[in-house]
Amino acid sequence: MTDNLGPLRQAMSDLSEHGGSADLYERSLRKSRQSQRRATLATGVAAAAVVLALGGAVAFAASHRLDLPATPAAAPSSAGPGKPDCPSIETLGDLVELPQDWSFASAGVQCAETWAAADVLRPAGGNVRYLFHFTTDTGWRYYEQGTEWDCRELGLTRPAPFCTS
């Protein structure tokens, strides 16, 4: 079998002489610039998204930050500035959430100056007291739990029933 490709080659040669050359260089430059613009835009959008995500996370964390103490304050009393009334067990109960089966003893609250302590009953037994402190700007707040405290460390000038000295 013989291939007679001569006339086909001649026709193709004639077409190439009249058709001119394809200008691929300008089109490749245009596509390159377009790709650069898209990459720059995508990078900018990604950077803005990261900044917004971090800012949102920081704002969320700041609004849900746990400050010490994290318990609500009881309303300041009307006994005068720096001289609060001794709070009730109900008032102190609003300031803390006791573990299940724990409760404040009915013996009442012991107060000294700006400090108050209440005995806590718990199923395991043993003496536990919750100590509360009063400040004029926040009112009564939970301070800590324990059995006894040093009056001097609390700044008390007189002995208190919940202090060692």
pLDDT of 163 above 50: yes
Domain ranges of the chain: 22-63, 89-154
Q: How far apart are CA 97 and CA 145, in angstroms?
A: 13
What are 91-113's pLDDT values in tens digits? 888 888 888 888 888 777 888 88
Pairing of strands 103-112, 128-135: unpaired
Burial of 134 (0-12, 13-18, 19+ CB in 10 A): buried
Q: Structure pTM?
A: 0.50
